[in-house]
Amino acid sequence: MLTTPAPGPVTLSRRFAPDATVSGGNILSMLAAMGPFRRRGEQILQENGITDVQVEGWYPLAAYVTALQAIGSKMGPNTLSQIGRQIPNHVPLPPGIDTFEKVLASFGMAFDMNHRGAEPGAITYKMASARTATITTGTPYPCDFDRGVIVGFFQKLLSTRVTVEAMEGCPCKARGGETCTYAVTLPLM
């Protein structure tokens, strides 16, 4: 009988060591952000060898990325984006992140704190004006997830709905690039 073998874990880009890890806290925030679909999320993590997640534990990043991609393909890119958006409601946020630039800077710091075996500076930003900037993200996560997280953090920290658009002519992880670049615009007050 022919069966399709389960895909192995993804190969991470050269920005990450093959044994790079992600914090249990990060995974638990993602599960909490899944809300009513949490059980499904736990199942998919389990299929990828991630079980009994503890907040202080560290887990293989490649397996976690594979699980997120499976969530995206089984539940759809919009669900993945929605999960990303809900994440700031489930992570401890330090006080004082209350300006456009401080939020822009927080993505890289949060990523570096929650991942090991990654080159520092996975997520960088450049201000273009008081309300426009670009964010370049070299996380190993699916584009829709990253994008949801960005929208969610601005929503949570500045109570505002930013526009996040893929920059034309830039590499994209979905097309084999190592990074994606987004133009972020604050609405006019």
Q: Which positions lie near Zn ion, rule CB under 5 A?
A: 143, 172-174, 180
Residue 4 φ then ψ, to 5°: -80, 120
Task: Note whether 181 and 136 are within 8 A (CB).
Answer: yes
Q: Which is nearer to Zn ion, 32 or 167 (CB)?
A: 167
CA distances from 36 to 17, 27, 33, 42 (A): 34, 16, 9, 12
Name residue 136's beta-bridge partners: 124, 181
∠ CA(145), CA(147), CA(153), 5° rounding? Answer: 100
**Closest distance of CB 110 from Zn ion, Å:** 19
Q: Which is nearer to Zn ion, 97 or 151 (CB)?
A: 151
**Closest distance of CB 51 from Zn ion, Å:** 30
Q: Which is nearer to Zn ion, 117 or 177 (CB)?
A: 177
**Closest distance of CB 63 from Zn ion, Å:** 21
